[in-house]
Chain A
Amino acid sequence: MIRNRTSNSLNLKPKLLKIILLMEETELIQKAQSGDKQALAELVKKYEQTIYNFAFKICRDKNYAEHIMQETFYSMVKSLHQFDHNSKLSTWLYRIVANHCLMMARKAKSRSFVSFDDDDENLFEEKYAADWNSIPYKDTENKELKRILDMAIQNLSPDYRMVFLLRDVEGLSTEETAQVTELSIPAVKSRLHRARAFLREEINKAFSR
């Protein structure tokens, strides 16, 4: 496989390696766009983990995550010919996932979420005092922590969740997050700081009991 040959055996500098990987991806996309099924399968395999994981992080449910993953790749296959290489394929895919997740959340509607006032001073009122050193954050399989993380993020509306996950968890830049969510940069920043403060406070509350 080309990817293995370039990334593993030539000891390239990270920047150069990134360019080569991007060129390989461009070639794969072009092949897939001209009907090469093997190239298309490679692209799906390359991104399925990212997409499934991201979908799960938004909806916190493995069945929904699989459904969203299928919808996302179905949309990708259907409209790959429209992809113009002006953005990264990953950014384009994140946008498709985001749309599917938001659509699904609107359909569900039954859940109510925390709302934020323009004046968000109360987000920074410290009503609880957890000992953060005792939180088992390094134990990635800790069930109690996972339960608290799921519960906290599900109280955030999907719009806020999306911004937090794209920017802080997936590591997109503020500009890329704005592009995916179709929000202005100030709107991304505003949602991000509220989401961070809210989630931090929810964990604080849970561990101070």
Chain B
Amino acid sequence: MKKEKITCKEVMKHVCESLGENLNDEKCQEVRNHLDSCPHCREYFKSVEITIECYRKYNVEVPEEAHGRLMKMLGLEQ
């Protein structure tokens, strides 16, 4: 029986499941082949990467006063 081609939805799901994992198994190869030929899924893949990057870059610094209050609370102020 001829194996059915992977669908865009399956590729999108796989991208969300496997990003950052080892992408060497047979399914991943199939996904990579699909990505090579499908601009829509490539765009989706990129958008998931951008989503992660946005959250990675959104950082806050400990305010100086909060640091002081922490050290005081722990009895570690100098």
Which A residues are within 8 Å of any B CB, using their own CB? 37, 40-41, 44, 48-49, 52-53, 56-57, 62, 65-66, 69-70, 73-74, 77, 120-121, 123-124, 132, 135, 137, 140, 145-146, 149, 153, 164-165, 167-169, 174, 189, 192-194, 196-197, 199-200, 203-204
Contacts and interface: CB of A to CB of B under 8 A. Distances in A.
- Which 4 residue pairs spanning A and B have beta carbons closest together? A193-B16, A193-B17, A200-B51, A41-B76
A5 B74 CA distance: 28
Contacts of A169: 52, 55-56
Interface of B: 9, 12-13, 16-17, 19-21, 43, 46-48, 50-63, 66-67, 69-71, 73-76, 78
A53 B54 contact: no
Contact of A132 (B16, B17, B50): B50
Contacts of A57: 55, 58
Nearest to B19: A196
Contacts of A140: 57-59
B70 A41 contact: no
Contacts of A120: 13
B46 A74 contact: no
A56 B16 CA distance: 24
A74 B74 contact: yes
A86 B63 CA distance: 32
Contacts of A40: 74, 76
A199 B16 CA distance: 11
A63 to B, nearest CB: 10
